[in-house]
């Protein structure tokens, strides 16, 4: 796919943010990072993500860690002993938002990256469409009502101009933090992330930095139109996703 990084040729990077506490799932996350929460007897959130990506291509993986650092590394080592993973430890995970995890990622990728949160569960067709996009995209779902407290994307003239929790209106759509970012667009966003962090503005979402430079990048909405792509924030979400996965397996 044209990416050259860490000596490995023709591999795009999959960047997964897995530094946070997952406090709303504390029934599980008192003992494990959120990405390791089980979806069934065989799969965790993280393994579900990786298994889907491995069906699509041979990627490099970048995983940020923080809370219970070491457990994800051990899990990957046991389940995927030959997987190429670069771990980035966010030493500020307890006192900052995930903008500081984004700040750890390379500033100058040679080509596209795939960026997603570690609590996202999605079906293969969604991942395939995002990976194979020929432009920078973020997932929206026009089939869903606007959530009260979760991310929405504001779309103007076919482009995403803002992403946040406080956006409402006819041009706003439910949004999931699953991105395909072309080199130019990621580099501009990452420079603004660095600016925020250098200024000590670290109690905000990474998307706050994105919104500050949205007029300089070309980010398009990718509408999954009801296909599975959902963050697991709490036990209700976990039960819902488990049921959806079970029904998909039965089809």
Burial class (CB in 10 A: 0-12, 13-18, 19+), 245: middle
111-163, pLDDT tens digit by residue?
A: 899 999 999 999 999 999 999 999 999 999 999 999 999 999 999 999 999 99
So what CATH class is 4-226? alpha beta
- Cβ–Cβ < 8 Å for 137, 130: yes
Indicate whether 2 pLDDT > 50.
no
Region 213-217: what's the mean pLDDT?
98
Indicate whether 5 pLDDT > 70.
no
DSSP secondary structure letter of residue 144: S
Question: Are β-strands 136-141 and 219-223 bridged in parallel, bridged antiparallel, or unpaired?
Answer: parallel
Residue 103 CA to residue 206 CA, distance in Å, equals: 9
How far is CA 187 from its chain centroid?
Answer: 17
Residue 33 CA to residue 70 CA, distance in Å, equals: 10
Nearest to 174 by CA among 183, 165, 182: 165
Residue 169 CA to residue 206 CA, distance in Å, equals: 22
- 93-122 CB burial, b ≥16 within 10 A, e <16: beebbbbbbbbbbbeebebbbbbbbbbbbb
Angle at 83 between CA 1 and CA 81, to 5 degrees: 165
pLDDT value of position 207: 98
pLDDT value of position 109: 72
pLDDT category, 11, cuts 50, 70, 90? confident
Region 232-240: what's the mean pLDDT?
96
pLDDT value of position 106: 85
> What percent of the chain stands above pLDDT 70?
95
33-88, pLDDT tens digit by residue?
A: 999 999 999 999 999 999 999 999 999 999 999 999 999 999 999 999 999 899 99
Indicate whether 8 pLDDT > 90.
no
Domain ranges of the chain: 4-226
Mean pLDDT of the chain: 93
Angle at 134 between CA 219 and CA 158, to 5 degrees: 35
């Amino acid at each position: 796919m044209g990416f050259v990084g860490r000596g490995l040729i023709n591999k795009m990077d999959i960047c997964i943010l897995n530094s946070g506490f997952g406090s709303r799932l504390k029934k599980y996350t008192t003992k494990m990072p959120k990405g390791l929460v089980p979806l069934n007897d065989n799969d965790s959130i993280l393994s579900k993500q990786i298994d889907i990506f491995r069906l699509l291509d041979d990627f490099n993986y970048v995983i940020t860690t923080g809370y219970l650092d070491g457990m994800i590394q051990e899990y990957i080592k046991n389940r995927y002993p030959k997987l190429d993973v670069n771990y980035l430890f966010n030493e500020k995970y307890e006192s900052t938002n995930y903008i500081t995890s984004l700040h750890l990622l390379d500033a100058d990728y040679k080509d596209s990256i795939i960026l997603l949160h570690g609590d996202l569960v999605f079906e293969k067709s969604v991942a395939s469409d995002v990976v194979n996009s020929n432009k920078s995209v973020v997932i929206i779902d026009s089939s869903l009502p606007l959530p009260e407290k979760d991310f929405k994307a504001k779309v103007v003239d076919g482009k995403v101009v803002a992403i946040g929790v406080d956006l409402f209106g006819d041009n706003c759509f439910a949004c999931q933090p699953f991105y395909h970012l072309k080199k130019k667009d990621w580099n501009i966003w990452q420079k603004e992330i660095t600016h925020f962090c250098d200024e000590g503005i670290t109690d905000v979402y990474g998307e706050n930095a994105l919104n500050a430079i949205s007029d300089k990048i070309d980010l398009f909405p990718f509408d999954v139109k009801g296909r599975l792509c959902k963050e697991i924030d709490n036990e209700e979400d976990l039960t819902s996703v488990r049921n959806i996965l079970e029904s998909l397996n039965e089809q």
